[in-house]
Amino acid sequence: MDATSHSFKRNVHARLGDEALQANLRRFGGGFADRRRDAVGRVDDFEALRDRASEIRAEVLTHLDHWLLAFEAEATRRGTAVHWAETGAEANQILLGIARAAGVQRVIKSKSMVSEESGLNAVLGAAGIEVTETDLGEYILQLADEPPSHIIAPAIHKSRDEVSALFAEHHGTPLTRDIPALCEEARQHLRPRFLQADMGVSGGNFLIAETGSVAIVTNEGNGRMVTTLPRVHVAITGIEKVLPTLDDLSAILRVLPRSATGQDITNYVSVLTGTRDAGADDGPEQNHVILVDNGRSRLLGGALHDALRCIRCGACMNHCPVYQNIGGHAYGWVYPGPIGAILTPAFLGLEKALDLPQASTLCAACEVVCPVRIPLPELMRTLREQEMEQGLRPWHERLSIRLWRWLALHPALYAVATRWGIRVLRWLAGKDGQVHRLPGLDGWTEGRDMPAPQGSTFRDQWRTQLAAREAQGKARAAATPVAMAAAGAARSKAP
Amino acid sequence: MRIGFFVTCLVDAVRPRIGFASIQLLEAAGCTVEVPAAQTCCGQPGFNSGDRASGTRLAQVFLEQFESFDAVVAPSGSCVAMIRDYPGLFADQPALAERLQRLVSRTHELLDFLTHHAPQPLPAGALPLRATYHDSCSGLRNLGIKHQPRQLLATCDGVDLCEMRDAEICCGFGGSFSVKLGEIATRMADNKCNHALATQPDAILGGDLGCLLNIEGRLRRRGDQRTQVLHVAEVLAAGQLAASGELPAPGQFVGMPVTTKD
Ligand code: SF4
């Protein structure tokens, strides 16, 4: 997928000004967050489940090579072909090779974020193979020719009216606001595609080393058809998705749906192992798994290692006030929100996504909900450090931070600088005690006033007061007038 | 109890009143307060911008300035959260990390200190004020500050605290974020203002000056000159003074408005 993460600020400006999008974002608002809170409230000790899930993911990553090879051996033994792809492009070529060898004309897909990374649909399309997305959200986006804006609710940025208009345009049907009718319409259009397809491409939420299985967690049931109806099934997923055992899967499934959609369990959990049994009448004749690295192994053991624990639940974006205001597309690549602010620079290169690690107030709303306890704010700060160290921040920013640090380490000079700063701000302030425009800090004053300082610094006033207290020997009585005077001064500036 | 007061760079420069209010409250709660003269900043502005040295160097200054006190108190959750992170920055110097750990574990955010650690509880205050409280992120999520301001405000007779929707959602300050990505910060501040104003408050309260400036800046730009934006300490201190009769009648002091609505 082509990235626009380098022009984040421009993306943001456009999204904040897009009234239709803003209305859609507001409409859904904290929906997922509320549902998560309720779901978490229904279990006894969700924090313990988070601990367990985090441990499992952390343990796998420490011995990732071992678990991947174990998965490969077991999957192969059960008739699944395992392919390794270093890049997204390589994954696309492997998949294309499988399709060609099997004479595939039509592909149906269930949701796969890794295939968004690799831009698979475009590659298959260029090779003359028809691709149909069957996840409802992805289907809508395929018609709209847009990328997903959320990892579990890809079309969350679209209103029902927009979907209705899209369906009317592509299906030649009348407009309707009835959501079940829209779903039924999609179902009618997808059914023949399911039946005609000769290859199903799915993602893989998890790989189970113990059984060589691919586990898929869905709500619409399309994943089950994609993986069982066509004669060839290919799962394409990241190398970090492996879990040692089915027990581990069950531990992870306790936190995934609750964190994602606030469901206790999703409508479907499919564990796919090997090919169609002899004599059985469903299941694929060929089963393939493509394990995609695409930058992941570079993170192992490094400063961003913990980000690989991610189980793609989307909770971090559902709780992120930045995401909630700008939507997923502004982030400019496959993964939006806090985890995207880490994975995009990690996978594409920091220089291609300079603003993303900065696109957070570090409010930690993500961290406190992440089911695998990824320290997301800390990782964003780490990336900020890397930007600094690699000289990727503007020179004036680097210079002003060094200057500020130097001053902060020299209290006497710092006091002088603060006194001057206060003077300048008070001079710039209007009669209302607010600075309306502050050269160099336009980022602030474009949308907000800057309340001017009240007077001299606290420490200067405190020194005076301390002397007075000592002179009078009446400690507490002295505190009042100065505080009052300062307060009064600030008050009298207001109209 | 001998307290070292860490005033924080923002309060020092922009709103000294919060510092005086804090000291008044600490003294009322039975503490002896000192203000080490050579303090500057916790280092957060640089540290969160990617300059690790801002954290490590200022951590050492903090240690020098405050190690001798029984406890350290600051009127800001985000500065205290930064300070609590200091020991982790010295993984390669265990002795220093250990010393820092001892100091930071007796370093407290003001409202938390007054609620749980002060030698005696605050005397009751009195102040007619309809207010709503914004939970600043670092205090809330890193330090667990949630009930403390509400409990303290409840001891102040006449303070009518009305909870706003989404009180726990970030106001958009985020230090350098508020300048680097000002457009998003403004939108977030706008949402915060909307939710706060829906409770029709005389004052929007908080425990972190950065957030308060962000919210006030947006309010004023929207043309609201009436709604006050105050640190909880300012309200509590005024309430104390009023209750002890040291101030003129409510409505004429410390920049607090009387409730004008019915
Ligand atoms: S980072 Fe955590 S919260 Fe975000 S998608 Fe991954 S697992 Fe979910």
Q: Render pLDDT for A354-390 as a digit per residue (tens, 0 to 9).
A: 999 999 999 999 999 999 999 999 999 999 999 999 9
Asked if the model's pLDDT at residue A30 lies above 90, the reply is no
Listed as ranges, residues in chain B with pLDDT below 50 are: 248-262
| Contact criterion met (CB < 8 Å) for B218 and A448 | yes
Give the residue from A265, A282, A299 where a domain finishes.
Answer: A299
Is residue A479's pLDDT more than 70?
Answer: no
pLDDT at A494 over 50: no
* pLDDT at A482 > cutoff 60: no
* pLDDT at site B247: 60
**pLDDT > 60? residue A198:** yes
> Is A20 inside any structural domain?
no
Candidates B35, B137, B214; nearest CB to A459: B35
Nearest by CB: B218 against A397, A407, A447 = A447
Distance CA B153, CA A24 (A): 38
**Whether residue A401 sits in one domain with residue A275:** no
Q: Do A252 and A117 share a domain, yes or no?
A: yes
- Are A97 and A240 found together in one domain? yes
Does A181 reside within a domain? Answer: yes
Q: What is the pLDDT of residues A56-70, one digit of tens each?
A: 999 999 999 999 999
| Average pLDDT score, chain A | 93
Question: Is B183's CB within 8 Å of A446's CB?
Answer: yes
A241 domain residue, yes or no: yes
Which of A241, A372, A380 to probe ligand 1 with, by most ligand atoms within 8 A of CB?
A372
Question: What is the average pLDDT across A40-54?
Answer: 97
The confidence band for A490, taking pLDDT boundaries of 50, 70 and 90, is very low
A253, A255, A311, best to mutate for ligand 1 pocket (most atoms within 8 Å of CB):
A311
pLDDT given at position B200? 97
Whether residues A141 and A246 fall in one domain:
yes
* Residues B167-202 pLDDT 10s: 999 999 999 999 999 999 999 999 999 999 999 999
User: Which pLDDT does position A84 carry in this prediction?
Assistant: 98
Q: Which pLDDT belongs to residue A377?
A: 98
pLDDT at A168 over 50: yes
How far apart, in whole angstroms, are the C-alpha atoms of residue B178 and residue B124?
A: 37
Query: Which residue in A has a C-alpha nearest to residue B45's C-alpha?
Result: A401
Of A257, A282, A299, the residue that ends a domain is A299
Q: Which domain holds residue A407?
A: 396-451
Say how far apart CA A216 and CA A204 lie, in whole Å: 5
Euclidean distance between the first and the last CA atom of chain B, given in angstroms as a whole number? 43
A311 burial level (CB within 10 Å; 0-12, 13-18, 19+):
buried
What residues of chain B, 52 to 111, have a C-beta less than 8 Å from chain A? 52-54, 57-58, 61
Give yes or no for residue A61 CB within 6 A of ligand 1: no
Residue A255 lies in a domain: yes
Q: Pick from B119, B184, B115: which is nearest to B154 by CA?
A: B115
Token representation of residue A166: 């899209």
Give me the phi and psi of A451, to 5 degrees please: -60, 130
Residue A131 sits in the same domain as residue A272: yes
- Number of folded domains that form chain A: 2
| Contact present, A286 and A81 (Cβ < 8 Å) | yes
Residue A474 confidence (pLDDT) above 70:
no
pLDDT of residue A440: 86
User: Per the domain annotation, does A307 fall within a domain?
Assistant: no
Q: Would you place residue A478 in the very low, low, confident or very high pLDDT band (cuts 50, 70, 90)?
A: very low
Q: What token pair was written down for B74?
A: 């600051």
Please check whether residues A289 and A417 belong to one and the same domain: no
Query: Residue B108 to residues A108, A135, B22, B82, B115: CA-CA distances in angstroms?
Result: 58, 50, 13, 11, 11
The count of C-alpha atoms lying within 13 angstroms of the C-alpha of A309, restricted to the half-sphere facing its C-beta, is 27
By three-state DSSP, how is residue A213 classified? strand
Residue B133 sits at the vertex; the CA angle it makes with B236 and A325, to the nearest 5 degrees, is 150
Q: Which of A269, A299, A329 is the last residue of a domain?
A: A299
Q: How confident is the model at residue A250 (pLDDT cuts 50, 70, 90)?
A: very high
The pLDDT, as a whole number, for residue A471 is: 86
For residue B139, how far is the Cα from the chain centroid?
9
Q: Alpha-carbon distance A255 to A371, whole Å? A: 6
Say yes or no: A414 and A281 in one domain.
Answer: no
Look at residue A54 and tell me whether its pLDDT is greater than 50: yes
- The atom of ligand 1 lying closest to the CA of A339 is 1
CATH code of the domain containing A185: 3.40.50.10420
| Domains recognised in chain B with CATH numbers | 2-115 (no CATH), 123-243 (3.40.50.11810)
The string of pLDDT tens digits covering residues A261-319 is 999 999 999 999 999 988 888 899 999 999 999 999 999 999 999 999 999 999 999 99
The alpha carbon of residue B241 is apart from the nearest alpha carbon of chain A, in Å, by 8
Question: HSE (CB half, 13 Å, CA atoms) of B103?
Answer: 25
Domain membership of residue A97 (yes or no) is yes
- pLDDT 10s digits, A416-456: 999 999 999 999 998 889 999 998 899 999 999 999 998 89
Place of tokens 């859609």: A24
Residue A476 belongs to a domain: no
d(CA A145, CA A434): 47
Does residue A493 register a pLDDT over 90? no
β-strand pairing of B203-206 with B125-133: parallel
Chain A CB contacts of B247 below 8 Å: 484
Residue A175 lies in a domain: yes
Interface A:B, Cβ pairs < 8 A? 242
A449 vs B217: CB contact, 8 Å cut-off? yes
Interface test with A, best of B184, B231, B254 (most A CBs within 10 A): B184
Burial A344-379 (b: 16+ CB within 10 A, else e): bbbbbebebbbbbbbbbbbbbbbbbbbbbbbebbeb
Between the CA of A51 and the centroid of ligand 1 the distance, in Å, is 14
